[in-house]
């Protein structure tokens, strides 16, 4: 692998153990995947932030890297934590867990993440980190990776936890996979004839196609979507998140919508074609027998302002029987507070929480056994990580569940 003089010096430990460790990780990844050089990256998103997943061993690993002198070199964001860093008491977390989660965040803060003010989110592109077409970045969270590659046309593999930290410290990633033109060609052509309305329908579609895609790049035709229409980004965000969760899709193209599909042909020479005429199996996959709902969760991936406004409109003047929580980035929460949407939600019995992802939170110990959501990705991880029963439905169905406490 060709390394620049500076990269070789970092690898030799001439700038300290933190950079040497980072270079060893990046070079090892490059060798595994056949890269012949490293690329500079403009931004990094680090995953593996939840204390529930990291535990004491993960915390120690991070502490050691920090003690070796780890400092980020490019703009770096954090994936969500298990809780709202400022309002965890309202979520019911115990102080010990909250303190350990805060300790994780403090390590990243001291590394320089978020310029010293980490604002954990899986939607960095909603708070000003929007890489442009062809720009190389090193992001980690699967829905953010999908959005960066597909909707923005940037280039990133799905970085693992240590790989993303290594990229942040060096400003480099290995040149393989999604960074290269040949991996970005579509090998699954998806004709969609099913009726699609709101973002939840796109999520259900993503759950069906993700399973069929595996690691392939899908190319969608027939989506009733135009750039700039209301909620178009929310729909693509939902589609990409579900594709990534139920398959391993890091990039998809949509005819006449996503930038690479608008720029020219994206289909590979050889591809398979499928038609999706019904999205109900995508919903059914995440529906449990248990009809009593304990929590309604919206904001997976983290909610955008237009999505929060839509929920506030739906609950305005009503009284919820079970909690409805929206998760979003901290600046988006601030927007909701300024605009009155947060007050509308709270008057009904809902809450907005920043920084947090409910799929990586210890939900059962918070007293939630069945959760309704509009997100197939959310439902997938609620089942597989949080170990709770789920229901997947559109916004009106989820709001109805919050109003009645039942799934109908
Ligand atoms: Fe984000 Fe958690 Fe969903 S990281 S995409 S809210 S599973």
Tens-digit pLDDT profile for residues 178-235: 999 999 999 999 999 999 999 999 999 999 999 999 889 999 999 999 999 999 999 9
The stretch 16-36 carries a mean pLDDT of 98
Q: Is 315 in the pocket of ligand 1 (CB under 6 A)?
A: no
- Which ranges of 135-186 would DSSP assign to H, the alpha helix? 142-150, 161-170
CA-derived radius of gyration, the chain = 21
The parent domain of residue 304 ranges over 286-404
Assess whether 226 and 92 both reside in one domain: no
Q: Which atom of ligand 1 is nearest to the CA of 144?
A: 5
Q: Which of 359, 361, 382, 385 to mutate to test the pocket of ligand 1 (most atoms within 8 A of CB)?
A: 359
Assess whether 327 and 394 both reside in one domain: yes
- The 10s digit of each residue's pLDDT in 148-161 is 999 999 999 999 99
Least confident stretch, 41-45, 112-116, 360-364: 360-364
- Supply the pLDDT for residue 316: 98
- Supply the pLDDT for residue 11: 98
If you average pLDDT over every residue of the chain, what do you get? Answer: 97
- Supply the pLDDT for residue 336: 98
Q: Is 143 in the pocket of ligand 1 (CB under 6 A)?
A: yes
- The 10s digit of each residue's pLDDT in 92-132 is 999 999 999 999 999 999 999 999 899 999 999 999 999 99
Assess whether 228 and 299 both reside in one domain: no
State how far the Cα of 19 lies from the Cα of 14, in Å rounded to an integer: 9
Q: Which atom of ligand 1 is nearest to the CA of 381?
A: 7
Residue 242 has pLDDT above 90, yes or no: yes
Tally of domains in the chain? 3
- Supply the pLDDT for residue 360: 87
Contact present, 188 and 206 (Cβ < 8 Å) = no
Atom 1, ligand 1: which residue's CA is nearest?
Answer: 301
Å from CA of 300 to ligand 1 middle: 5
Q: Is 357 in the pocket of ligand 1 (CB under 6 A)?
A: yes
Domain's final residue, options 283, 307, 327: 283
The stretch 226-248 carries a mean pLDDT of 97
Domain's final residue, options 218, 250, 283: 283
Q: Which of 381, 383, 384, 392 to mutate to test the pocket of ligand 1 (most atoms within 8 A of CB)?
A: 381
Token digits of residue 385: 């990580």
Assess whether 174 and 25 both reside in one domain: yes
Q: Read off the CATH number of the domain in which 13 is found.
A: 3.30.499.10
Assess whether 292 and 398 both reside in one domain: yes
Assess whether 326 and 358 both reside in one domain: yes
pTM: 0.96
Picking from 24, 354, 303, 13, the residue whose alpha carbon sits closest to that of residue 174 is: 24
Residue 383 has pLDDT above 90, yes or no: yes
Beta strands in 134-233 (DSSP E): 172-174, 186-192, 218-221
Assess whether 171 and 204 both reside in one domain: no
- For residue 10, the number of C-alpha atoms closer than 13 Å in the C-beta half-sphere is 22
State how far the Cα of 283 lies from the Cα of 376, in Å rounded to an integer: 8
Assess whether 22 and 168 both reside in one domain: yes
- Supply the pLDDT for residue 368: 96
Atom 2, ligand 1: which residue's CA is nearest?
Answer: 357
Residue 362 has pLDDT above 90, yes or no: no
Atom 3, ligand 1: which residue's CA is nearest?
Answer: 300
Å from CA of 382 to ligand 1 middle: 10
> Percent of the chain, pLDDT > 70?
100
Token digits of residue 94: 């115990």
Å from CA of 80 to ligand 1 middle: 7
Assess whether 354 and 232 both reside in one domain: no
């Amino acid at each position: 692998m060709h390394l620049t003089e500076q990269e070789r010096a970092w690898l030799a430990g001439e700038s300290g153990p933190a950079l040497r460790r980072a270079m060893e990780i990046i070079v090892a990844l490059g060798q595994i995947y056949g890269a012949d050089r490293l690329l500079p990256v403009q931004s990094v998103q680090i995953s593996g932030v939840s204390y529930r997943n990291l535990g004491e061993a993960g915390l120690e690993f991070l502490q050691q890297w920090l003690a070796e002198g780890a400092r980020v070199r490019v703009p770096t964001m954090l994936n969500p934590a298990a809780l709202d860093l400022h309002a965890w008491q309202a979520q019911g977390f115990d102080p010990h867990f909250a303190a350990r989660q805060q300790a994780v965040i403090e390590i990243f803060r001291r590394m320089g993440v978020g310029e010293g003010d980490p604002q954990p989110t899986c939607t960095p592109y909603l708070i000003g980190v929007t890489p442009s077409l062809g720009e190389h970045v090193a992001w980690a969270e699967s829905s953010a990776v999908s959005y960066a590659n597909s909707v923005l046309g940037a280039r990133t593999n799905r970085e693992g936890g240590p790989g993303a930290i290594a990229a942040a410290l060096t400003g480099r990633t290995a040149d393989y996979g999604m960074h290269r033109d040949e991996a970005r060609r579509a090998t699954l052509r998806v004709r969609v004839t099913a009726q699609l309305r709101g973002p939840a329908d796109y999520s259900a579609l993503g759950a069906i196609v993700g399973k069929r895609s595996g690691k392939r790049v899908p190319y969608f035709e027939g989506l009733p979507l135009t750039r700039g229409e209301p909620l178009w980004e929310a729909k693509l965000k939902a589609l990409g998140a579900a594709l990534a969760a139920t398959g391993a899709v890091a990039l998809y193209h949509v005819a006449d919508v996503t930038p690479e599909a608008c720029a020219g042909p994206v289909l590979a020479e050889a591809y398979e074609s499928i038609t999706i005429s019904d999205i109900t199996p995508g919903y059914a996959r995440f529906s449990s027998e248990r009809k009593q709902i304990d929590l309604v969760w919206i904001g997976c991936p983290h909610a955008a302002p237009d999505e929060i406004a839509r929920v506030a409109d739906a609950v305005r003047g009503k009284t919820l029987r079970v909690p409805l929580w929206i998760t979003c980035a901290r600046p988006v929460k601030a927007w909701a507070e300024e605009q009155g949407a947060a007050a509308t939600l709270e008057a009904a019995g809902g809450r907005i929480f920043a920084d947090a992802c409910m799929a990586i939170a210890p939900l059962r110990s918070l007293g939630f056994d069945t959760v309704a959501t509009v997100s197939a990705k959310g439902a997938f991880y609620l089942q597989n990580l949080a170990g709770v029963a789920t229901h997947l439905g559109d916004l009106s169905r989820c709001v109805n569940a919050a109003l009645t406490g039942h799934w109908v």
